[in-house]
Amino acid sequence: TDLYLLHANAVPLTADGRVLHLELRSGEVANNIVTVGSEGRGEILASLLDGTTTTAAGTPKDDNNDNINDHDNNTKNGSSSTTTTTTRRSKRGFVTHTGTYNGVPVSIVLINMGYPNMDFFVREVRAVTTGPLRIVRLGSCAGLRPDLPVGSVAVASEGSVMIRQNPDAWEGTAARGETQGEPYLFHGVAPADEELSEALLKELKRSLDGKAGGSDGGGGTAVVGCLNASADSFYSSQGRLDPSFEDRNSDILSSLLERHPSAGSFEMETFQLLHLARLCRKSKVQASAATIVLANRIADDAIAIDRISRIERAAGEAALRAVTSFGDP
Ligand code: R1P
């Protein structure tokens, strides 16, 4: 069915009406969405959907080798009614779990990493849905402030800025061999949706502030609203030093914090989500992001691996409550 692509110069669809990379068609993705970057985080969130046991989601492909799993399970309270969560895996590595949370339709979409994957996700979901969309990214990040230690959660309530490497600043890559501009480009703020950010902050504080998922020593988990910074590389434009490459990036962190003292989280996806939400003219897209701090760049500290899934679960419940708290858009 995917041999025939329609619209070579618009959003390509397969002959059976699916977008090319997420492999979804109308009715297969909800208007409330939590998007994540790792398969495990997606499975944790899918296990929190109505009627889904903790082992049901993310199961291997069906024996008949299609890419859909339907999980019919008794509801959490043990009643006899059933709810279905559908899992759809695309050949490009996108995984979409669709079901309900507290009776409200919601999808969890695994997009892996980087702004091009966020671009595929937002544009292709938009192409196969109608009406408003509400999208929360639940990701991970590096913390850039002392009040965002490892294990804390940053909400991009102040929006996001973008940093990109400018290849023309290197000799030999610019047009006519001239160098042009600074090695890194700092782009301005894409705003987050205020209502959704507030709901995220409220629900994350309820789940995490000083409670579950906090530091195993009992110190609790901070939930902080801040400005996010997204980069086009985990390495060069996030200021990680690698002597194998001439990245000219040793002052990225200081330049970023000088320009934007409230920058608290550093990752690779949030800017594109917020930017596309403001560009969308089809109908309203409300978007915000919460990211779990896995390393703090200022303190040069990294999280203990065994803490991550507990925080993902507590933050995942909060993200699902927040995104569904306004009902079906
Ligand atoms: C790097 O390890 C990746 O983790 C973060 C960063 O943005 C980067 O893409 O995102 P997720 O944990 O959401 O995948």
Q: Which atom belonging to ligand 1 lies closest to the Cα atom of 270? A: 7
268 ligand 1 Cβ < 6 A: yes
pTM across the whole model: 0.90
Q: Would you mind telling me the total number of residues written for the chain in this entry?
A: 329
Residue 223 lies in a domain: yes
Percent of the chain with pLDDT over 70: 84
Query: Per residue in 193-214, pLDDT tens?
Result: 999 999 999 999 999 876 544 4
Amino acid symbol at 103: G
**37 CB under 6 A from ligand 1?**
yes
- Region 144-167: mean pLDDT is 96
Burial per residue of 123-135, b for 16 or more beta-carbon CB atoms within 10 angstroms, e otherwise: bbbbbbbeebbbb
What is the helix, strand, coil percentage profile of the chain, to 5?
25, 30, 45
Q: Could you give the CA distance from residue 54 to residue 98 in angstroms, rounded to a whole number?
A: 15
Q: 69 falls in which pLDDT band (50, 70, 90)?
A: low
User: The domain spanning residue 292 has which CATH number?
Assistant: 3.40.50.1580
Contacts of 57 by beta carbon, 8 Å cutoff, 6+ apart: 42, 43, 46, 47, 49, 71, 85, 87, 97
The first and second tokens of residue 300, run together, are: 């040069």
Q: Which one, of 128, 104, 102, 109, lies nearest residue 58 by Cα?
A: 109
* pLDDT number for residue 208: 87
Total domains in the fold of the chain: 1
Cβ burial of 324 (10 Å; 0-12, 13-18, 19+) is buried
Taking the centre of ligand 1 as the mean of its atom positions, its distance from the CA of residue 79, in whole angstroms, is: 38
**Residue 42 belongs to a domain:** yes
Q: Is 329 in the pocket of ligand 1 (CB under 6 A)?
A: no
150 in a domain, yes or no?
yes
Distance CA 115, CA 205 (A): 28
- What DSSP element (H or E) covers 194? helix 194-208
More confident residue, 83 or 254: 254
Average pLDDT in the chain: 88
> 216: pLDDT confidence band, cut at 50, 70 and 90?
very low
- So what's the pLDDT on residue 174? 59
Element (H, E) at 114: none
Please tell me the predicted confidence (pLDDT) of residue 221: 82
- 329 within domain boundaries: no
234 CA distance to ligand 1 middle (Å): 8
Residue nearest (by alpha carbon) to ligand 1 atom 9: 113
In short, whether 42's Cβ falls inside 6 Å of ligand 1 is no
Each residue's pLDDT tens digit, 217-231: 444 589 999 999 999
Closest atom, ligand 1, to C-alpha of 113: 9
Q: Which domain holds residue 263?
A: 5-324
In this predicted structure, what is the pLDDT of residue 65?
A: 38
Centre of ligand 1 from the C-alpha of residue 141, in Å: 6
Residue 114 Cα: closest atom of ligand 1:
9
C-alpha span between 127 and 219 (Å, rounded)? 44
279 closest CA partner among 190, 158, 210, 167: 190
pLDDT (tens digit, 9 = 90+) per residue, 167-198? 989 876 656 667 889 999 999 999 999 999 99
Please write the tens of the pLDDT for every residue from 257-311: 999 999 999 999 999 999 999 999 999 999 999 999 999 999 999 999 998 999 9
What is the percent of the chain where pLDDT is above 90?
75
> What tens digit of pLDDT does each residue of 1-38 get?
455 677 788 898 998 899 999 999 999 999 999 999 99
296 in a structural domain: yes
73 in Cβ contact with 52 (< 8 Å): yes
pLDDT value at residue 58 = 34
47, part of any domain = yes
- Our answer on whether the CB atom of 113 is closer than 6 Å to any ligand 1 atom is yes
Q: Per the domain annotation, does 140 fall within a domain?
A: yes
